[in-house]
């Protein structure tokens, strides 16, 4: 009985070794979990949300984690040492600041364009017809702060039209402007056409031709020292791909 037990134990050990070896060789390379951190302009919230599910479906075990905020705030976070893999800005000057700060790896690529519109309450009760109406008395108007891309675009329109808007507040990102119009705290707000479209009927939009003089280019880049550098490049290429651009077009973004 003792010899039988010893033989059985020896055989079990060999079997276990073989099984372990087979298991190790057969393990899929994509079985590991990884989180890709993307810092993106607030105006990309809805469109990048859809790209997230598509990218994750194509990359088993990968989770895309977003940090949406005003582009200038995101650059400040990166400059202060925040860890991220990808940065997508709402305009080129803000991306240029990120490059100058030394937080970008390689050359950024423009993947979309966007332009301003006026968000108003459904039915446009204040009868706003164009950009010049925003200077009227008795209107509560909100805009983005000057350092934010949508605020810089607003200033450009003001300079080109010689119309000065006196806002009730200057918000830190375009979603904050949209929220104030949706809630009724503002009669009008300057937002991107994509944000007005994402509101789902909670606001109406008043387009104005002068917006064509202040179109924003949206660049994307891999962050220097990205924890997931290879995945970051894959995500960047995914956004730049035909599939990515089709999704962005559905949200109202223009082609670069």
b (16+ CB within 10 A) / e for 107-139: ebebbbebbbbbbbbeebebebeebebbeeeeb
**Structural domains present in the chain:** 31-113+217-250 (3.40.190.10), 116-214 (3.40.190.10)
Q: What is the pLDDT along the chain (256 residues), one digit of tens a residue?
A: 444 444 433 444 433 333 333 333 332 233 369 999 999 999 999 999 999 999 999 999 999 999 999 999 999 999 999 999 999 999 999 999 999 999 999 999 999 999 999 999 999 999 999 999 999 999 999 999 999 999 999 999 999 999 999 999 999 999 999 999 999 999 999 999 999 999 999 999 999 999 999 999 999 999 999 999 999 999 999 999 999 999 999 999 999 9
pLDDT of residue 32: 61
């Amino acid at each position: 009985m003792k010899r039988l037990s010893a033989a059985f134990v020896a055989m079990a050990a060999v079997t276990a070794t073989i099984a372990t070896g087979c298991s190790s060789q057969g393990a899929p390379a994509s079985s590991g979990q990884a989180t890709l951190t993307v810092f993106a302009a607030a105006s990309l919230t809805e469109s990048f949300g859809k790209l997230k599910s598509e990218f994750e479906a194509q990359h088993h075990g990968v989770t895309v984690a977003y940090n949406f905020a005003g582009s200038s705030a995101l650059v400040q976070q990166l400059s202060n040492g925040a860890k991220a893999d990808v940065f997508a800005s709402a305009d080129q000057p803000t991306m240029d600041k990120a490059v100058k700060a030394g937080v970008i790896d390689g050359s950024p690529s423009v993947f979309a364009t966007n332009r301003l519109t006026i968000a108003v309450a459904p039915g446009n009760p204040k009868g706003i017809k164009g950009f010049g109406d925003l200077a009227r008395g008795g209107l509560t108007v909100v805009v983005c702060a000057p350092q934010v891309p949508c605020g810089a675009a607003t200033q450009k329109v003001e300079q080109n039209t010689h119309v000065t808007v006196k806002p009730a507040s200057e918000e830190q990102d375009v979603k904050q402007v949209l929220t104030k119009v949706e809630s009724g705290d503002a009669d009008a707000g300057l937002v991107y056409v994509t944000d007005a479209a994402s509101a789902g009927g909670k606001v109406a939009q008043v387009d104005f031709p002068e917006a064509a003089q202040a179109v924003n280019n949206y660049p994307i880049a891999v962050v220097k020292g990205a924890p997931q550098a290879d995945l970051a490049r894959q995500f960047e290429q995914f956004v730049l791909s035909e599939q990515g651009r089709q999704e962005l077009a559905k949200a109202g973004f223009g082609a670069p």
